[in-house]
Amino acid sequence: MNNISVGSWITLNNTSVAEIMADAGFDWLCIDIEHSSIDYSEVQNLIMAIQGKGLKAFVRVGENNLRIIKRVLDAGADGIIIPSINSVNMAINAIQYIKYPPIGKRGVGLSRAQSYGFDFDNYYNIKAKNIKIIVQIEHIDAINDLDKILQLDGIDGTFIGPYDLSGSLGVPGEFDNVLVKSALEKYEKITKNYDKLIGYHVVQPNYELVIDKINKGYNFIAFGFDAIFLGTIIRNQLNKIKK
């Protein structure tokens, strides 16, 4: 997969912020409900704002949970990013939570995604089958099970979580540690054998870090997030004034 897709993270419950970021030129935006205070009704409003600008709206859920995933999907999410998928069995569960029967066990609801019941057949037969499933690889157990995870038909890609990965190795935040480097190298080597999305979150708003990840083969890159873009430009300009 040669196409490079660059998106960003939404952590603030503000539809205007989501629209501003959508207009900036990202390929997609992901609403984070794992590490933010954004709630379900707010998720739907943010999805509407993002999709209204012609972008795909992903949601990073809080856990691999049928109820959480079902509600986010019924709000109209185009893709789900699921944290802490540490085994092939957890990945299989994720697929089943997202897919309708007979493949999965997603319950039928008539909400925004299905046009409140007036377009269910189209959603079931087309839209639901194109929902992207991205699993986060954040533990050494996941690295060791990575080939099996990527062989699953329902998995569209993975997203590496370096900090939690380092924690699972007993060296949290020590990215230069040989154990962490070895695990990341294994992740990159294995993922390149599959025609699937290879994800990384470049948190700092520095484009050179994105280019570095592209050169390493990543093709599904989250660049910064709303709060850090806002805070960085404020601090940068204020510091220049004060000097």
Residue 60's domain spans which residues?
5-242
Q: Mean pLDDT throughout 26-33?
A: 98
Can you tell me the distance from the alpha carbon of 99 to that of 16, in angstroms, rounded to the nearest whole number? 32
What is the tens place of the pLDDT at every residue in 51-74?
Answer: 999 999 999 999 999 999 999 999
Report the number of distinct structural domains present in the chain. 1
Distance CA 140, CA 146 (A): 10
φ/ψ of residue 18, rounded to 5: -60, -40
Taken in order 239, 240, 242, 243, the sign of the CA dihedral is positive
For the entire predicted model, the pTM comes to 0.95
Residue 201 among the catalytic residues:
no
The residue from 4, 23, 24, 35 that is catalytic is 35
The CATH number that applies at residue 71 is 3.20.20.60
Question: Which residue type is seen at 111?
Answer: S
73 within 8 A of 98, measured Cβ to Cβ: yes
pLDDT 10s digits, 171-220: 999 999 999 999 999 999 999 999 999 999 999 999 999 999 999 999 99
